[in-house]
Structure 1
Amino acid sequence: MVLTGFCFVAVNILVKALGGGIPAGEAAFLRYIIGILLLLPLMLREPLRVSRTQMRVFAIRGVFQAAGVVFWFYAMTRISLAEVQVLNYLSPVYITIGAALFLGERFSWIRGLAILAALVGVILILRPGIRPIDPGHIAMLATALCFAGSYLMAKSLSGGASPTLVVIMLSLWTGLFLAPVALIEWVWPSMAQLGVLALVAAAATAGHFTMTLAFRSAPISVTQPLVFLQLVWATLAGWYLFDEKVDSYVIGGGTIIIAAVVTISIREARTRRQRSQKDTSPS
């Protein structure tokens, strides 16, 4: 999880370093095209046997993911690394609400309190009425919502498709939906910009891989609190590399959001463990 944090913060740093030299939609498209090339060896080995229903879900997930990535790339050009990092933590909160509304999962009072705490954290970060809200803040709120929708789609697919197939189809459909967005404002990237995007794709892929290893090796109550380190590193990187001010309100609000996410994650892990014990107990 420590390595995962380094990888994901590195992704944010690299995208931030690109600045506005490449339109957000094009940068997102090129990132996924490079990602598809990295996944090519797996695609050649994995049989693409997909039902019509699964393909529809894959396509809908591609819409959510494509929109979220565009919003995210745009937000990077507008707000600080720390703000991007903490507002992206809202995805698990959105997922909890969506799972209750669309997947029929129980909504406990602990989850409700955690969601309210996360809302307090967001208000602390944005401080509406005290300072102007940047379009980048709105973009990150939309990013977290889109990524939550993408995750819920993945969750509905997890029982009938292999993890490799899910990742491959995500990259293919996201790249497809990003293509027209990229062509609207196409700017030919330099070799240096393509190199940065290649590093983005590699760091993101490595981050997902190390996160999967962490989830296999330790319970979520151990791994999830380490997410807080990403906020620390993002704040330090923004201050050192991009001369961004360390905002105590962002740190405070981010801490509250992370505490809410950790509470939700540990609660869900405990619920799954209890269900598993109940299913395996002799009747």
Structure 2
Amino acid sequence: MRGPAALLDGLPLPLRGPAWMIVACIAFALVWALIRAASADLHPFAIVFFRNLIGALIILPIAAGAWNPDTLRRWPAHLRRAGSGVVATYATFFAIAHAPLADVQAINFAAPLFATVAAALFLGEKLRARRIAALVVGFAGVLVVLRPGHLPMTPGIGAAILSALATAFSLITIKQLVGTDDPRLVAAFTFFIMLPISALVLPFYWAWPSPMTWLILVGVGICAVVGQLATSYAFRAAEATAVLPYDFIRFGIVAAIGWQAFGETVDAMTLVGGAVILATSIYLAYREQMAARSVRPASEPPIT
């Protein structure tokens, strides 16, 4: 068995990365819609547990074919990935249940910006003038979405900001792990480590799901696994600058779901701010790609 990557192997190579990113966008947009629906019956923190339980059961046979004992030697990095993932997941699920979906998505686009700052602080990466300028523009986009003094800083919006920060740390660790570990194992260890942590939290928010909510929770788990795997394969099949522009599709899907299913509206400032944030993230990815090429040995083949 060749794994999930075989599903799109028939596509020309330049199309595989964008195709996987579009799959990820659809999957994550559905996760958000299903979380909002399930939160009418369950607390968001209880939904986190079921997401991890169902996701772990689904990804176990997928990851089994990629098992490598050497992965265990990198368990500290997997713990860091799962730890930041726990914070990001709880914050995201709370934000989705308590804030407009489009606002949460726009703020979530800031995660790569925060990751760039975190890489400079914790990994010693240099912030040159162009990156600093891009960060300033990106954070200006965040302020356009938040509009301090105009929009109230609700717990849901605060959770969305915390989610973006935690996601930034996850991105850094994923970047380190996928260089040595199979993407299936990186995703699987996240589910496996997060499951017992969310089980400890569950008793404080427990309620029996209704039959319909059980179906929704299964959908959350399935879509979460598809989204994580598709994102990993997208970045493995193509450079970040080739696939990141397609991430804005998720913003459109999430905004449409919020409008059609939950009666939410999206104002022009949120659209503008989200576009600025995403454009800055794409530029930073481009600069990272150029920097990597400049230090690659002449004998090393380019990434394809």
| TM-score after normalising by structure 2 | 0.85
Aligned partner of 1:236 in structure 2 is 256
Q: Can you list the C-alpha shifts for 1:38-61, whole angstroms capped at 9, x where unaligned?
A: 012134444462577622332232
Aligned partner of 1:182 in structure 2 is 202
Specify every segment of 5 or more residues in structure 1 that has no aligned partner in the other structure, as ranges.
none
Query: Are the aligned partners of 2:59 and 2:188 in contact in 1 as well (CA < 8 Å)?
Result: yes
1:135 matches 2:140: no
Q: Say if 1:114 and 1:232 are closer, same or farther in 2 by CA, change over 3 A.
A: same
1:126 to 116, 135, 146: 146
1:64 to 84, 104, 120: 84
Specify every segment of 5 or more residues in structure 2 that has no aligned partner in the other structure, as ranges.
1-20
Q: Can you list the C-alpha shifts for 1:94-123, whole angstroms capped at 9, x where unaligned?
A: 111111111122212222112111211111
Aligned partner of 1:106 in structure 2 is 126
The CA distance in 1 between the partners of 2:243 and 2:217, in whole Å, is: 28
Aligned partner of 1:209 in structure 2 is 229
Query: Are the aligned partners of 2:184 and 2:229 in contact in 1 as well (CA < 8 Å)?
Result: no
1:152-163 paired onto structure 2 within 5 Å? 152-163=172-183
Aligned residues: 281
1:193 matches 2:194: no
Q: Can you list the C-alpha shifts for 1:175-195, whole angstroms capped at 9, x where unaligned?
A: 121111112121111232121
In structure 1, what residue type is equivalent to 2:199? A
Query: Are the aligned partners of 2:240 and 2:286 in contact in 1 as well (CA < 8 Å)?
Result: yes
Q: Which piece of structure 1 moves more, 95-104 or 269-278?
A: 269-278
Deviation at 1:224, TM superposition (A): 1.4
Aligned partner of 2:101 in structure 1 is 81
In structure 2, what residue type is equivalent to 1:110? R
Aligned partner of 1:18 in structure 2 is 38
Query: Are the aligned partners of 1:66 and 1:175 in contact in 2 as well (CA < 8 Å)?
Result: no
Q: Say if 1:272 and 1:174 are closer, same or farther in 2 by CA, change over 3 A.
A: same
Identity across aligned pairs (percent)?
Answer: 28
RMSD between aligned alpha carbons?
Answer: 2.1
The CA distance in 1 between the partners of 2:77 and 2:131, in whole Å, is: 27
Q: Say if 1:52 and 1:228 are closer, same or farther in 2 by CA, change over 3 A.
A: closer
The CA distance in 1 between the partners of 2:163 and 2:131, in whole Å, is: 22
Q: Can you list the C-alpha shifts for 1:204-225, whole angstroms capped at 9, x where unaligned?
A: 2222333344334444333211
Query: Are the aligned partners of 2:27 and 2:226 in contact in 1 as well (CA < 8 Å)?
Result: yes
Q: Say if 1:67 and 1:216 are closer, same or farther in 2 by CA, change over 3 A.
A: closer
The CA distance in 2 between the partners of 1:60 and 1:212, in whole Å, is: 18
Aligned partner of 2:51 in structure 1 is 31
Aligned partner of 1:275 in structure 2 is 295
| TM-score after normalising by structure 1 | 0.90
Aligned partner of 1:172 in structure 2 is 192
Aligned partner of 2:243 in structure 1 is 223
